[in-house]
């Protein structure tokens, strides 16, 4: 028999999990504005998502709205933050202290969303022993030892593309279970390993293309 908690956790589709933070952001904003209630129709209207999708998404979260009144905003914020894992502290290692890796070490905002980078790893010997934003950098060779000491199972991958696959394999065999992949390389991993691809540069391609298209239209008219 499947218990309720398990069912919730296995069943939440990825698009829902990606939209819930938008609802959270909007609810936080309205809470700050002094509002106390929020309907799914209001959420839908303000963030341009169909209201049936909002209602469906929120049905995965254990919160009940009242007819015609909507959700209690404070409760909605608290429950969403917990549901999304933003109130827990998840510790992570970062692999590849190059340009993007270094930049992420500077991003203290990650902690607000439940992620704490506790160490960076790189193959460059001159980086070992240094620190960025008070986060220590170690040589990649020391990863297994530090993983065993800490039990950390989340890895942020910011290595060059030609190292993405080999470093992934190394860190998975050393105990990493979830990889947040910032490289544009599609790593291949065993089925029980979680991968989230956040190739921010791919978004640039979309932006450049659309901007060109719009400006060409303007030039023609």
Is residue 175 within 8 A of residue 153, CB to CB? The reply is yes
* Residues in 130-169 at the binding interface with a second copy, rule: CB under 8 A: 153-154, 161-162
Query: Of these, 24, 119, 137, 172, which contacts a second copy (CB under 8 A)?
Result: 24
Q: What is the rounded CA–CA span in Å between residue 159 and residue 123?
A: 10
Smaller CB separation from a second copy, 140 or 155: 155
Give Cα separations from 221 to 116, 209, 211, 216 (angstroms). 51, 19, 16, 9
Query: Of these, 63, 78, 86, 170, which contacts a second copy (CB under 8 A)?
Result: 86
Hey, which residues does 90 pair with through a beta bridge? 115
Contact flag: residue 102 with a second copy (CB under 8 A): yes
Query: Of these, 1, 67, 68, 109, which contacts a second copy (CB under 8 A)?
Result: 109
Q: Closest separation between CB of residue 142 and a second copy, Å?
A: 23
* Residues in 168-187 at the binding interface with a second copy, rule: CB under 8 A: 177-178, 180, 183-186
Count residues binding a second copy (CB under 8 A): 76
Q: Quick one: which segment of 22-30, 69-77, 122-130, 142-150 binds a second copy (CB under 8 A)?
A: 22-30
Contact flag: residue 204 with a second copy (CB under 8 A): yes
Contact flag: residue 126 with a second copy (CB under 8 A): no
Contact flag: residue 129 with a second copy (CB under 8 A): no
Residues 6+ apart with CB under 8 A from 8: 60, 62
Is residue 182 within 8 A of residue 157, CB to CB? The reply is yes
Contact flag: residue 4 with a second copy (CB under 8 A): no
Contact flag: residue 190 with a second copy (CB under 8 A): no
Burial class of residue 162 (count of CB atoms within 10 Å of its CB; 0-12, 13-18, 19+): exposed
Smaller CB separation from a second copy, 125 or 206: 206
Q: Closest separation between CB of residue 203 and a second copy, Å?
A: 5
End-to-end, the C-alpha distance of the chain in Å comes to: 64
Identify which of 89, 88, 85, 76 has the alpha carbon closest to the alpha carbon of residue 24.
76
């Amino acid at each position: 028999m499947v218990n309720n908690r398990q069912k919730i956790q296995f069943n939440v589709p990825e698009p829902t999990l990606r939209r819930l933070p938008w609802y959270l952001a909007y609810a936080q904003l309205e809470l700050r504005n002094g509002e106390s209630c929020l309907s799914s129709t209001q959420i839908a209207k303000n963030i341009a998502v169909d209201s049936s999708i909002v209602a469906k998404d929120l049905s995965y979260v254990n919160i009940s709205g009242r007819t015609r009144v909507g959700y209690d905003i404070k409760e909605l914020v608290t429950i969403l933050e917990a549901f999304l894992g933003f109130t827990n502290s998840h510790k992570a290692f970062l692999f590849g202290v190059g340009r993007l890796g270094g930049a992420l070490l500077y991003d203290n905002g990650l902690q607000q969303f439940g992620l704490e980078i506790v160490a960076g790893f790189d193959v460059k010997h001159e980086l070992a022993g240094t620190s960025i934003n008070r986060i220590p950098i170690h040589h990649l060779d020391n990863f297994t030892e530090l993983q065993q000491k800490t039990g950390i199972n989340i890895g942020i991958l910011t290595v060059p593309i030609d190292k993405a696959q080999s470093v992934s394999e190394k860190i998975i065999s050393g105990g990493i279970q979830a990889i947040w992949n910032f490289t544009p390389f599609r790593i291949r991993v065993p089925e029980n390993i979680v991968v989230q691809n956040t190739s921010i540069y791919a978004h640039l391609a979309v932006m450049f293309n659309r901007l060109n298209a719009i400006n060409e239209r303007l030039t023609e008219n």
